[in-house]
Structure 1
Amino acid sequence: NYVTYEVNLKEGDKTPPFTADTMRQIINDYNTEYHSSTQQKPDDFTEKDNEEYIKKQRLKEEYVRKNNLYNLRPGQKVQVIVEPRTWGKGNQQRRHLDPSYYTVDSVDTSAYLLRAKDGSVARYPRYQIWTKIEHGLKQGETLDQGRHGAVKSIDGHELVGNDVKYDVTFENENTGKVTGRGMREGNPNRLSQMEVQYWRKNINEGHVKDMPSFLEKYRGFRV
């Protein structure tokens, strides 16, 4: 019925005469018909019914969010999708999975931290993580990308053309350099939260006047 009313409203001006009386009739029909989502007529819907309905919908949304297979849980076993292999005369590409499994450690901004058997971790975007793993897989001994662990802090920066290299301290207290792109590989169109905090701090303390102009193209940056 809702669809019928919606069509009537959209098409009303194309089917003259669409008068105020016609509109009132549509509204009356809508309010006196049973709705499948509530099993009630809008005219019979009380304030308490409305509160209960909103509560029920929120609980439903929360359940869907928590049980969404796209969202990963700490401790969940996953595989990493590595670079696709090209094969055949037509240069077809086949998805290639790392033969070992890793466990989800936590969420780091817009990507997931995966942990190997030796405790090393690496950050991977969601699209590079495979959840339907086979039984019998062995846990990966180490993560090549994770030999230093996750980035703990940004300590400085160097501008290199239209990019930036950050001086960072890793989780295991080693230091090194990470490109801006490497900091936001899970969502390349937005600065990572750690970058935002770094630039905000440096601007507020007067170490820099503003962020580099080439970083302004990344949506969502606010200081």
Structure 2
Amino acid sequence: MDEVHCLTEWGNEFRPMYRNIGKFIKDLPNSPVVAAFSATVMPDDIPYIVKSLHMKNPVVHIGKLKRSNLSLKKAFVKNDAVRYAKVRKAVQKYGSKGKIVIYCTRVCDVEDMRDFLIEDCDISASAIALCHSRLSNRAEQEARFRSGEAHIMIATSTFGMGVNVPDIRLIIVSQLPFSVASFYQMAGRAGRDGKRAKALLLWNDADFQMNLDIISDTDDHAVEAANELYAICESSDDLHDAVIGCFAKEGE
């Protein structure tokens, strides 16, 4: 079972489907060997994953967490005008270096970002691909991005599952994600060819409040995860070190 973080992550459409896998395993006539993999599982989530997948005394292996070729940076944006200005500057800087992915929280934000790039940044519509859950031609959009026909992908967290594009040079996470793990999943799409790449996280208090409103108060674990990322953004700590520290709470 790959991408096992989907069992616990808010903000992706795969969560309900993944939660049915444990039932499928339990109903099999013979108990199979189960292996689960992810690049971003929090230590506190491991017991839940083990229980959900009916694993018995599993061996837990945590590999190397920090990628030396990947730079993680954060920037507070007091309003959307500043947010879009940051996006414009980053896209102009990295546009000639390779592919770019811009992550947004909601489908409407994806569409607004596309309109901004076309109308305010003079980027051709043919250079942009989109990925979100409502698209009927999602596979075609992803193929355009992989081939290089479109060098910018604007997407919700839907983009990334099973996708391996090696030459992504820049990830812009344009709004605060739901958790540290969600952010690192997005950032980890960059620089898979081993060459230098950057992930830029843009955030403000309104993003955080929007996430809390989406989560509501029905899931304490999700609220804790949102608070953890917000605290990291507010701190003066190096973003990469702070993120890795969350995954290594109980030691590597």
Q: Shared fold by TM > 0.5?
A: no
Q: Which protein shows a greater Rg? A: 1
Q: Comparing both structures, which one devotes a greater share of its residues to strand?
A: 1
Provide TM-score, normalisation by structure 1. Answer: 0.24
Provide TM-score, normalisation by structure 2. Answer: 0.22
Q: Comparing both structures, which one devotes a greater share of its residues to helix?
A: 2
| Structure having greater relative contact order (Cα 8 Å, sep ≥ 6) | 2
